[in-house]
Structure 1
Amino acid sequence: MTAPRPLIRLDKWLWQARFFKTRSLSARLIAAGHVRVNGVKVGKPAQQVGPGDALTLVQGDQIRVVRVLAVGTRRGPAFEAQTLYDDMTPARDSVPNAPGFDGKGRPTKKDRRSLDLTRRPPLE
């Protein structure tokens, strides 16, 4: 017989993997519906996850996609937490802070309009 797959609560795993500073913060984000497990929206922090599951979550203004590699036993240092997951988030293009500003004062109205067109819409 094969051993059962090790499972852990989703809020606890996100806290152990250092995606959130507190476990209650991770639970609040899950309850708000901002986390998906294998493409399915999760509403309960007690959802069980294990190795092989894919998580999609909103962290700040960024959408993170990670694959669970291991179930942790404690909230250790950052290098230990990084061994719990594989980050599959696509690399973001860095947008310059002020592309129309060359040290010559404020950007013109035309510069601001072109800057607004390059900004991404907010996440849903």
Structure 2
Amino acid sequence: MRLDRWLWHARFFKSRSLATRFIEKSRCRIDGRVVDKPHATVAPGMVLTFALGPRVRVVRIVALGERRGPAPEARALYDEIDGD
């Protein structure tokens, strides 16, 4: 699945276009590797690191999700790893 689409499904961003712009302008890491392409592929087991607001989010992808569902469904797509 595309990184921008997954971030939108997991409800880190209100729209996919916001997720796309964030990835292009910010430093996101997938398994420690810097990415700036929204079409970067993600899969379960990968670790994403990105700064969102005042904190650094570190999450392990658990599932990809088929749709952008309610918040409880979105939280089931990832496990939070210590950030900050």
Task: Specify the TM-score bucket, using the shorter chain as the normaliser.
Answer: over 0.9
C-alpha RMSD over aligned residues: 1.1
Which residue in 1 is equivalent to 2:68? 75
Aligned to 1:40: 33
- The residue type paired with residue 23 of structure 1 is R
Kindly provide the CA deviation profile for residues 8-36 of structure 1, in whole angstroms up to 9, marking residues without a partner as x.
Answer: 00000000000111111111111113211
Can you give the 5+ residue segments of structure 2 that lack an aligned partner in the other structure? none
More strand by share: 2
Letter of the 1:39 partner, please give it: G
User: Is 2:8 aligned against 1:15?
Assistant: yes
* Structure-2-length-normalised TM-score: 0.95
Count of residues in Structure 1 that have an aligned counterpart in Structure 2:
84
Match of 1:29 among 13, 19, 22: 22
Match of 1:50 in 2: 43
**Greater RCO, 1 or 2 (C-alpha within 8 Å, sep 6+):** 2
The amino acid that maps onto 1:47 is A
Identity in percent: 51
Larger radius of gyration: 1
